[in-house]
Amino acid sequence: MSAAARALDTELLALPGHPAAYLGVGAAARLGSALEAMGARRVLLVHGRTSYLRSGAGALVGRWAGRFRVEHFDGVRPNPDIGQVRQGVALAARFRPDAVVGIGGGSSMDVAKAVAVLSAQPADPLDCLRRPESITEPRRAGLVLLPTTAGSGSEMTRFATVYAEGRKHSLDLDPVRADLVLVDPALGFSLPHADSVASGLDALAQAVESYWSVAATEVSGALATEALERLLPALTRAADTGSFADPRVRADLAHGASLAGAAIDLTRTTAAHALSYELTARLGLSHGTAVALHLDWLMGRHAALTEEECRHPDGAPAVRGRVETVQRLAREVSGGDVERLVRRLLAAAAQPVGLHELALPVDGWLEPLTSALASGRAWNNPCVLTETDIRRLLV
């Protein structure tokens, strides 16, 4: 084994209150034995139609699939809607799996988690999303997650995002948390450049947002900081080289994304995420791009936070200090601030580098974006944002 390969050996990330997570090249190879240890005989694999094969996950599963009865739900598409979830729930109800395994990006993780929990419920999936009190039955199947992108952090969280009737719904419950997570950066080596950028920026935003969240704690702050210390150098290297081919970049992004996911599981995200969903739902922008476009202006907005508009319990100076800490970490590794790094990555991926490029008109955008400020994620934001802030973003 080469020195590089030894440096990427699998390690156990054991965080109280979070799934046991194995990280590193080779982690995915643990799946078959892990399912046997769980006593699983019937396994439902939840994944997309292309990433499953492109990532090498399909070949990996083929090595042990003969030891189980395996069924596939391969209908996952980006930004999953209630229709996808209903199809997966119906299949799970017929198949009655002992374990559900989600393989793919954040969408596959979300669908796998939703299917595992909602297939045990007597209520319709949409009713469960609208009224969480409808979820009365425990999850019956084990839940194992293997991300093939480094960004969503969904593998480490107790929530899943599903779109219904043009709106984003979040299934946010303890049973949604996985039993086991296998984070193998080798599964992301074939991820296209634009998808790698979007994923990496999503993870970066999660780490920043958790760090300044109203709900931040000493534990979440440590997780967010460690995530930033891995993500910022890796994203800088990708921006400098125009490539994510370096195995160390992939490994650090995968590790950093899982740490960021663990951090937001404790704090939830803030305004950058709350405001991003309209861009994704209405314009089809990737989630990571949409979040990054809002993170771009929110960095400066929070750096200038006043006491009068601060809702963080530690006060405005503490929030400004956290922003400066993030910017210092960025400058140390990239020579510039977070906004510059974000724009470099977006430009290289042929994505808009600022909201101004979208030319969002006041008519049609003011109301939905202002309404997003009433969401729980926006209330988790340390700065009280208003319609005036939204008007500055529109033309």
Q: Give the tens place of pLDDT for each residue, 224-234.
A: 999 999 999 99
Q: Which regions of 131-246 does DSSP assign to beta strands (E)?
A: 142-147, 159-164, 167-172, 180-183
Q: Is beta strand 142-147 parallel, antiparallel or unpaired with respect to 180-183?
A: parallel
pLDDT at 3: 35
pLDDT digits (tens, 9 = 90+) for 24-79: 999 999 999 999 999 999 999 999 988 899 999 999 899 888 899 999 999 899 88
pLDDT at 2: 37
* The two structure tokens encoding residue 375: 């969401």
Query: In terms of domains, do 89 and 174 share one?
Result: yes
pLDDT band at 8 (very low <50, low <70, confident <90, very high): very low
Q: Which regions of the chain does DSSP assign to beta strands (E)?
A: 11-13, 20-23, 42-47, 69-73, 99-104, 142-147, 159-164, 167-172, 180-183
How far apart, in Å, are the Cα atoms of 115 and each of 59, 65, 89, 109? 24, 21, 5, 10
Q: Of 187, 213, 231, which residue sits at a domain end?
A: 187
Q: Of 187, 217, 238, which residue sits at a domain end?
A: 187
Residue the block writes with tokens 């125009």: 242
Query: In terms of domains, do 170 and 270 share one?
Result: no
Query: In terms of domains, do 21 and 104 share one?
Result: yes
Q: Of 187, 206, 237, which residue sits at a domain end?
A: 187
CATH number, domain of 87, equals 3.40.50.1970
Stretch 262-285: mean pLDDT? 95
pLDDT band at 9 (very low <50, low <70, confident <90, very high): low
Parent domain of 97: 3-187
CATH number, domain of 374, equals 1.20.1090.10
Count of alpha carbons within 13 Å of 102, Cβ hemisphere only?
35
Query: In terms of domains, do 180 and 214 share one?
Result: no
How far apart, in Å, are the Cα atoms of 74 and each of 32, 53, 333, 351? 19, 11, 40, 28
Residue the block writes with tokens 């074939």: 190
- Residue 170: CB atoms within 10 A of its CB come to 17
Query: In terms of domains, do 142 and 201 share one?
Result: no
pLDDT band at 14 (very low <50, low <70, confident <90, very high): confident
3-state secondary structure 3-44: HHHHHCCCEEECCCCCCEEEECCCHHHHHHHHHHHCCCCEEE
Query: In terms of domains, do 309 and 279 share one?
Result: yes
Query: In terms of domains, do 109 and 252 share one?
Result: no
Number of residues assigned to the chain: 395
Query: In terms of domains, do 16 and 165 share one?
Result: yes
pLDDT digits (tens, 9 = 90+) for 280-328: 989 999 999 999 999 999 999 999 999 999 999 999 999 999 999 999 9
Residue 4 has pLDDT above 60, yes or no: no
d(CA 299, CA 197): 19
Query: In terms of domains, do 20 and 134 share one?
Result: yes
Count of the separate structural domains present in the chain: 2
d(CA 15, CA 18): 5
Query: In terms of domains, do 260 and 346 share one?
Result: yes
Q: What average pLDDT does the structure give for the chain?
A: 93
Query: In terms of domains, do 147 and 200 share one?
Result: no
Query: In terms of domains, do 171 and 196 share one?
Result: no
Distinct helix (H) and strand (E) counts, the chain:
17, 9
d(CA 147, CA 154): 8
pLDDT band at 255 (very low <50, low <70, confident <90, very high): very high
